[in-house]
Structure 1
Amino acid sequence: MYATRLAAALALASLPLLAAADLRPEYLSARDKRAISSGIIYDGQIASTYDFVIIGGGLAGLVLASRLSEDANTTVLVLEAGDTGDAVRSQIDIPGNAYYSSLLGTTYDWQYETVPQPNVANRQLAWPRGRVLGGSTAVNGLYMVRPSALEFNVWSQLQGGAQGADDWAWDAMFTSMKKSENFTAPIASVQEAGAIEYNIDSHGTTGPVHTSYPGFIIPAVGNWTETLDWIGVLPSADPDGGQGWGAFIATSCINPDNLTRSYSRSAYIDPLPPRSNLAILPNATVTRLILAQDGQSVKATAVEYAAYDGATRQTVNVNKEALLSGGAIGSPHVLMHSGIGPTNVLQPLGISTYVNLPGVGQNLQDHLSGQVVFSTTAETAASLHGSQAPGANGSTAFLSFINSAIAYPNITDLLGDYAPTFQSDILANLTLSSTTLVPSTDSTVIAGYKAIYNALANTILPSQVGQVELLFGLTGTSFGANTFSIQAALQHPYSRGQLYINSTDPFDKPVIDPGYLSHPADTIMLREGLKLARILGQTYPLNGIVTGELSPGNATVNTDPEWDAWLPTIVGTEYHPSCSCAMLPLANGGVVDPQLRVYGTSNVRVIDSSVFPMEFAAHLMVPTYGLAEQAAQMIRQFWNEGAVPANGTTTASASFPSQTGNSTTGSKSAALPAVGISSLALMGAAAVALLAL
């Protein structure tokens, strides 16, 4: 019976769909026809030369495309390896489908995988990434969470006083993040039920990306912040204003007009009027940059791409700049295949080294997570899954429900009086860690690790910034019906990994080795976070819905050695890879400077989450939107002698009207297909996607 309900619900939730063969204009919806006028190329025909060629049509790539093409005198091309997403629009648009009918594991997912991890029970972990216009913003869990001011300021300080370092400090990034945002307060019933607090002054209200809250909230969410308050993790009334610690209900990238996902395509591209200077080519995998010597540096003269593995390679010329926005995996992958990267990786493959940059693919970091799973009664489960909510059955509002209750406990919350000793132990291990844990033997990469390590241990660790993230998982678990979870995720790892190529074929996936839990401090912090998750399930008022602990179970795991033995067998990624093209001084193994330009090149920049030098206590989507907005401004100023010209094709306010998703009327009732609540309640964690770039 459960399987039948699940199949029926998924079938309904995926309608209406366009067949891949029916993408001719006469078959397209009104919204899809607008996409054609907004620059998406369906026939493969593009010009031979563009001022800016953007590699990757994900989060940052589409922000750049929209902002740079505001200047009518500038031509812009986006090359995206994935499809448009037109054929799976409702799976993208319906927020709940991120959990119940995910695109992960399909052709819309790169389906990356790590090498076996010795400290994680020798397991290979999946690293899904969106392979579609919009990238991971089209498939992720919709969390819009900002880092704290201190983390941005540390990022700026790591640049060693280089020109432009202030562009990445809190004040500048706060402005850029708000520029991308169109915030809407929760409706009264949702705000009351979830005990939601926010500060309107910390949000932007005129940007393209809708940030809001679901149209329906599970009643148990209202117990979240009160329960954390009881254990000493205080509620936050302003989590987006630079103090992103404590407990709160996060905003999500939801358009409140029709309760659909707001992602980089729907926000920055679909609303645009016709722009003859913008072309977005899907199904175009970039294979390499074509480089030439340019004085003391090298210059990208063209970009090579192919429709698929085995297809004829084509090239498009670059007049001004090549902008890499392939993400933490794609950008270093393209750089290395182009001859920019560690010589010891490129030479054995016979790839000519144009720029020896040892840091490309190094400094790789991720958020590693685990969860404690609880059981609840069938009666409570019915309430949890909304079937008792007035008018919930089959409603658009219910289908907008996603996980959003979150908390960031700091090191004192985790370790209490032991925190100063823990900090001392970490600092005492710096020399050993830099000698044994850095995958590269290059002295500059090691110096960069030391610089970040010191910043984390001396500045971030003793502050109020969260060291672990706690998430309230109410959308099902692999333990079946009548269950929920509390997830704990490590936020500032001291372990380091690497990413590199071992083939000259750019269609071969890179080798991904995150080096999980190679530093003992990471295990300790994650273990203490999971302990806190267990305590939450035992604390009033959240304990009122708990009937037992299913995993790991009090009878099996209690002592620290028991936690440490269990934890490696169940942890997985929180889907936040970053830092593989770090913005750091060249002497510290950096790949890009504060202008985002790749060292040793005159016209190649990297603009995506790979440039962060360290992980944040946050999901990566909001800071990457801020990064892309900042980069677009920087590039336009560079090419216009310090000024940003007035928009040549449209005004900012006209560019980003309210989006209506699948609905052509903007009516909430018409936006999404109906799905029975009872069916959704039975969908376990088979397709849970917590990606949030």
Structure 2
Amino acid sequence: MLKNQSSSEFDYIVVGSGAAGAIVAERLSSDPSNNVCLLEAGGRDWHPFIHIPVGFIKTIFNPKLAWQFYTEGKNETGGRRIPIPQGKTLGGSTSINGLVFNRGDRSDYDYWSELGNTGWDYDSVLPYFKRIERCEFPVDEKYRSRDGVIPISRLDWIHPVCEAFMDSAEERGIPRNADYNGEAQIGVGYYQRAISNGFRMSTARTYLKAARSRDNLHIRTHAQATRVILEGKRAKGVEYYDSRRKQYVTVFARKEVIISAGAINTPKLLQLSGIGEPGLLESLGIPVQHRLPGVGENLSDHYSIRISCRVRNILTINEEARGIRLFRQVLRWLFKKPSVLGLSPSLVHIFWKSDEKMDFSDLQGVFTPASYKKGYVGVLDNYPGMTCGFWQHRPQSRGYVRIASRDPLADPVVQPNYLTHPEDLHVLVKGIRLARSILTAPSLEQYRDAETFPGADVDSDEALEKFVREFGVSSYHLNGTAKMGPASDEMAVVDPQLRVHGLEGLRVIDSSVMPRITSSNICAPTMMIAEKGADMILKGK
């Protein structure tokens, strides 16, 4: 390998420009005395489909814009290698994701604190959530904010089938909830989205847009970090591969290296740097620089399953996204009117319980007046359809991310171990039955036709378990692979200040540090982690 090239020195080096890294870089560079280098493996967020919300269908599987990672096949999921794409452009996954803004429940963060992570209880992290959001609707200012950075909107394209679905949920005992990010999460209502005036609001379009012109922020794209440079037990810099010039470059940090590369690339980078489980590193001929057995372990994700029905008596997104109707929708979008082009893939949320005896929700549901072939978001069915799906809030299955090669450009092994804990499968079967209960309630009768996927004949517990195993997919909510915890927890990778245990000048600030998955999409919690992490650095903690 050619490892020549220029060397540069900065105060801080931030690896990754996604939900976390863009925020960290912006906040650190807001102090003009800090010289900050931001490394992004992908390119600039130039592609027009990034900025059009419905464009996620085109971007998420584009290798120029997203890492095309896959899980390892496993019997519990039919031997399938399940796609788990992650953003690879400025803005990271906030430039390609489903746009939902969902913080999670108060209990998520109180539990983090109970594990020994002082300062991560709900009351402590709430100000950082409020620092992120600029709600474009009236809010309870005790819980929400209209003064933050990222515009958060409510749905402006109202479809009668969505309203009927929510009426049906109420008929099944699920109350309406206009703000699941407010005082309480449980209930049914419309999702809030990082969309404004019909455009996606990524961290690149918001945080970085304000910071790009700063002389003290240096953004290097096409720069894939390959190794953290250690001098003894202190991080001194980062080696990266410049994919345009086909050469390796070294940059140095006077103060800190911050890894914000996501739940797959963060542990990969640590392991390539000799930081991790000694047996794994030695088996690949990588010198052990620092023993940390938890690196890459504790991986979790939301494994989701969807069912679809044919719709009658009304048009759905399936028809509005084709032919002359699509042309009309484009014109509406261009004239800033409600349009299918400005939609997130999920329109309605359901937070509910798989068992009525529970005090909290353990299921998150999604609904949209659209349906996809084989239930997988991508190719629309050629008839009117609607889809309802669920995932388990806090799955108990845990997996890992482990490098399989010394080659820094090779993909690591990613094994979430979906459904290896039997309770996870049982909860998802209950989720399917809950979805069917709502879809067959009286309020949807005028629109509901036959269930098309998997079909009403798939009804026994055994048949539904088989369906979950064969057709469940990732929700792309990977986390936990550099978990936060006190020094007494041998599997903890970072402390409550997000500093890597036993090393100086090195932090991890992204979804990797979550000790347990949140009862939500993980984008908003990851942004909160970034705001809090950057604040701790600026305060010298």
Relative to the length of structure 1, the TM-score reads 0.72
Question: Could you tell me how far 1:401 is from its partner in structure 2?
Answer: 2.3
- Which residue is 1:50 aligned to? 10
Q: Following the alignment from structure 2 to structure 1, what is the Cα–Cα distance between the partners of residues 441 and 30?
A: 53
Is residue 146–residue 244 contact of structure 1 (8 Å, CA) maintained in 2?
no
Say which structure is richer in strand. Answer: 2
Unaligned runs of 5+ in 2: 374-380
Larger fraction in helix = 1
The answer to whether the 8 A contact 1:228-1:247 is kept is yes
Secondary structure, aligned partner of 1:524: helix
Q: For 2:107 and 2:393, how far apart are their aligned partners in 1?
A: 14
Query: Of 510, 518, 528, which aligns to 1:616?
Result: 518
Asked if residue 531 in structure 1 is aligned to residue 450 in structure 2, the reply is no
1:374 partnered with 2:309:
yes
The C-alpha deviation readout for 1:535-586, integer Å capped at 9, x for no partner, is 111013123211110111112x111112112221110101100111111233
Q: Aligned residue for 1:124?
A: 81
The percent of aligned pairs where both chains have the same amino acid is: 30
1:125 partner amino acid: I
* 8 Å CA contact 1:143, 1:404 repeated in 2: no
Letter in 1 for 2:423: A
- Matched with 2:62 is 105
Deviation at 1:310, TM superposition (A): 9.4
Residue matched to 1:154: 111
- Check conservation: 1:91, 1:103, Cα contact below 8 A: no
Please say if residues 78 and 279 of structure 1, whose CA atoms lie closer than 8 Å, have aligned partners that are also in contact.
Answer: yes
Task: Give the letter for the 2:256 counterpart.
Answer: E
User: Contact (CA 8 Å) 1:80, 1:285: kept in 2 or not?
Assistant: yes
Corresponding residue of 1:673? none
SS of structure 2 residue aligned to 1:113: coil
Q: Deviations over 1:338-365 (max 9, x none)?
A: 0110011101111111111110010100
Measured in 2, the distance between the counterparts of 1:174 and 1:316 equals: 35
Residue in structure 1 matched with residue 377 of structure 2 by the alignment: none
Please give the secondary structure, in 2, of the residue aligned with 1:395: helix
Q: Which residue of structure 1 lines up, in the alignment, with residue 163 of structure 2?
A: 222
- Cross-structure match for 1:93: 51
Residues in 2 aligned to 1:242 and 1:84: alpha-carbon distance in whole angstroms: 38
Distance 2:432 2:6 in 1: 52
- Return the alpha-carbon distance in structure 2 between the equivalents of residues 530 and 354 of structure 1: 47
Residue 67 of structure 1 is matched in structure 2 by 27
Do residues 279 (structure 1) and 239 (structure 2) align? no
Cα distance, 1:244 vs. partner? 1.5
Tell me which of 579, 584, 591 is aligned to 2:480: 579
Contact 2:510 2:530 in 1 (8 A): yes
User: Is residue 629 of structure 1 aligned with residue 525 of structure 2?
Assistant: no
- Tell me, yes or no, if structure 1 residue 291 matches structure 2 residue 234: no
* Residue pairs, 1:342-381, within 5 angstroms: 342-377=277-312, 379-381=314-316
Contact 2:483 / 2:492 at 8 angstroms: preserved in 1?
yes
Partner of 2:461: 560
CA distance in 2, matches of 1:565, 1:593: 41
Question: Is 1:252–1:404's contact at 8 Å kept on the other side of the alignment?
Answer: no
Structure number with greater Rg is: 1
Q: Secondary structure at the match of 1:584?
A: coil
In the alignment, is residue 319 of structure 1 matched against residue 254 of structure 2?
yes
Residue number among 203, 207, 232 corresponding to 1:268 in the alignment? 207
Give the direction of change, closer, same or farther, for the CA distance of 1:510–1:405 in structure 2 (3 Å limit): same
Aligned to 2:366: 471
Structure 2 counterpart of 1:404:
347
Name the stretch that deviates more: 376-385 or 522-531.
376-385
Q: What amino acid sits opposite 2:347 in the alignment?
A: S
Q: Secondary structure at the match of 2:189?
A: strand
What are the superposed Cα offsets for residues 646-666 of structure 1, whole Å, 9 maximum, x if unpaired?
Answer: xxxxxxxxxxxxxxxxxxxxx
Amino acid at match of 1:179: R
Amino acid at match of 2:135: F
**C-alpha distance in 1 between matches for 2:212 and 2:424:** 49
Q: Pick from 182, 192, 196: which aligns with 2:134?
A: 182
Compute the displacement of 1:617 (Å). Answer: 1.2
Say whether residues 1:394 and 2:331 are aligned partners: yes
Query: Shift of the alpha carbon at 1:378?
Result: 6.3
For the 8 Å contact 2:314–2:447, the answer to whether it is kept is: no
Letter in 1 for 2:316: A
SS at match of 1:221: helix
Instruction: Give the aligned partner of residue 378 of structure 2.
Output: none
The Cα of 1:226 is off from its aligned counterpart by 2.2
Aligned partner of 1:231 in structure 2 is: 172
Cα distance in 2 for residues equivalent to 1:215 and 1:384: 19
Does residue 123 of structure 2 align to residue 171 of structure 1? yes
Q: Indicate whether 1:134 and 2:91 are aligned.
A: yes
AA paired with 2:53? P
Equivalent residues of 1:309, 1:507 under 8 A apart: no
Instruction: Please state whether the residue corresponding to 1:112 is helix, strand or coil.
Output: coil
Secondary structure of 1:586 counterpart: coil
Unaligned regions of 5+ residues in structure 1, if any? 1-44, 160-164, 187-197, 420-461, 643-693
Asked if 1 retains the 8 angstrom alpha-carbon contact of 2:500 and 2:506, the reply is: yes
What amino acid maps onto 1:95 in structure 2? P
Residue 276 of structure 2, aligned match among 333, 341, 345: 341
Secondary structure at the residue paired with 2:501? coil
* Equivalent residue, structure 2, for 1:651: none
Distance in 2 (alpha carbons) for counterparts of 1:85 and 1:121: 36
Q: What does 1:581-620 align with in structure 2 at a 5 Å threshold?
A: 581-588=482-489, 589-620=491-522
Q: CA RMSD in A?
A: 2.2
**Bigger mean CA offset, 103-112 vs 340-349:** 103-112
1:369 CA drift (Å)? 0.6
1:383 Cα deviation after fit? 10
What TM-score comes out, normalization by structure 2 length?
Answer: 0.92
Q: Judge conservation of contact 2:308–2:371 (CA < 8 Å) in 1.
A: no
